[in-house]
Structure 1
Amino acid sequence: MLDALKSVLRKTSIHVCLVNTGGCNGCDIEVLALLSPRYDLEQYGIYVHQNPREADVILVTGAVTEQWRDKLQRIHRKAPEPKIVVALGNCPISGDVFNQEGGSVYAPVSDFIPVDAEVPGCPPRPSEILEAILAVAPGAIAERGRKK
């Protein structure tokens, strides 16, 4: 019974896994703002959790540190097809202030996993994050529905 209900909900909702690979957490705070009544992310059928095995969208925040290179690739492999990755903020896109000569920060994140959308900013506004998710995720949901 629970599996049947879960299957129905998964076909109509977007599940987002937030992955912080090292940084200041500014982007993470903006994602949390999306859960507030002002933005009410769940009204769009978007749910944030930490399980990559059930994620439609992986939101990557923070600069990729040496410790996260392999972990990020493993998380990406665990996500079901079709996988959508959104690089959130300047850090995963360019390394921003953490990308120093001789440092252990690796940018862009697209060097390690394929990225479908980038949301620049330090940090980007919650409305920009929501727009990026809504721009890329519905196509993945529709594709998953056709495969089943």
Structure 2
Amino acid sequence: MWHILRQITRTGIVSEPPPRVDEALRAEAGRIHDEILATLGQALAIRAVDAGSCNGCELEIHALNNPYYNLEGLGIRFVASPRHADLLLVTGPVSRHMAEALRRTYDATPEPRLVVAVGDCGCTGGLFGESYASCGRVAEVIPVDLAVPGCPPPPIEILRGILGVVKRDAGAPRR
């Protein structure tokens, strides 16, 4: 034990320096914020659904909530219930066990609802495809408005996808 304590005191605190501020990303986030408010005129509520992913896409979605991307500051928030959501953000190939839960979540989301499939698995089924355990891509189970490819897609691409589907829906006539 003393050996470990001596090594800790000799080494000190080891950490990496903070990342440099990316002004281009900050300007892009500000532009997206302005577009979201101009399009919606209000906040956007998102319900994230993991339909069987490896959690790579969830890590990128969670990164949207950190201070670097500041999703909450853009007027976008995650909600716990699909009844309060405007948009479903679905990740992963839909496992057979999650298919019914995903359909029920979709049905519980009020109209007009939007669905964004995130990641290669959500868009195409990825490595898993369609099998005895997997229904494949999200579009095989519920209608998808937009797909954000990548394994996993970076947070800014997920944000661009959300903005793209919201802008497209705002310009479309109501169902």
TM-score by length of 1: 0.82
Q: Report 1:9-24 matches (<5 A).
A: 12-24=42-54
CA offset at residue 103 of structure 1? 3.5
Q: CA deviation at 1:111?
A: 1.7
The answer to whether structure 1 residue 124 and structure 2 residue 153 are counterparts is: yes
- 1:133 and 2:172 matched: no
Indicate conservation of the 8 Å contact 1:98/1:105, yes or no: yes
Q: Per chain length, whose mean CA-contact separation is higher, i.e. which structure has more relative contact order (CA < 8 Å, sep 6+)?
A: 1
AA matched with 2:154:
R
Q: Which has the larger radius of gyration?
A: 2
> Residue 51 and residue 139 in structure 1: after superposition, are their counterparts in 2 closer, same or farther (change >3 A)?
farther
Deviation at 1:44, TM superposition (A): 1.4
Q: Which residue of the partner structure matches residue 124 of structure 2?
A: 94
RMSD of the TM alignment (CA)? 2.2
2:103 to 73, 78, 94: 73
Identity fraction in percent: 40
Q: Answer yes or no: is the 8 Å Cα contact 1:83–1:140 preserved in 2.
A: no
Amino acid at match of 2:164: A
**CA spacing shift, 1:22–1:73, aligned 2, 3 Å:** same
Give the deviation of 1:138 after TM superposition. 4.9
- Describe the SS at the equivalent of 1:87: strand
Q: Name the SS of the counterpart of 1:97 in structure 2.
A: coil
Contact 2:46 2:88 (C-alpha < 8 Å) held by counterparts: yes
* Structure 1 residue ranges, 4+ long, deviating more than 4 angstroms after superposition: 138-143
Aligned equivalent of 2:73, options 29, 43, 52 = 43
Distance 1:139 1:95, change over 3 A: closer
Amino acid at match of 2:158: I
Distance 1:36 1:26, change over 3 A: same
Please say if residues 129 and 137 of structure 2, whose CA atoms lie closer than 8 Å, have aligned partners that are also in contact: no
TM-score (norm 2): 0.70
- Give the Cα separation in 2 of the matches to 1:58 and 1:136: 11
Query: Given the superposition, is the C-alpha separation of residues 12 and 77 from structure 1 closer, same or farther in structure 2, using an over 3 Å criterion?
Result: same
State the 1:49 CA deviation: 2.1
Partner Cα distance (2:48, 2:122) in 1: 13
What are the ranges of 5 or more consecutive residues in structure 2 without an aligned counterpart?
Answer: 1-39
Cα displacement string for residues 95-120 of structure 1 (whole angstroms, at most 9, x for unaligned residues): 212226x4411122112111000000
Structure 1 residues not aligned, in runs of 5+:
1-9
Residue 32 of structure 1 and its aligned partner are, at CA, apart by 0.5
- State how many pairs are aligned: 135
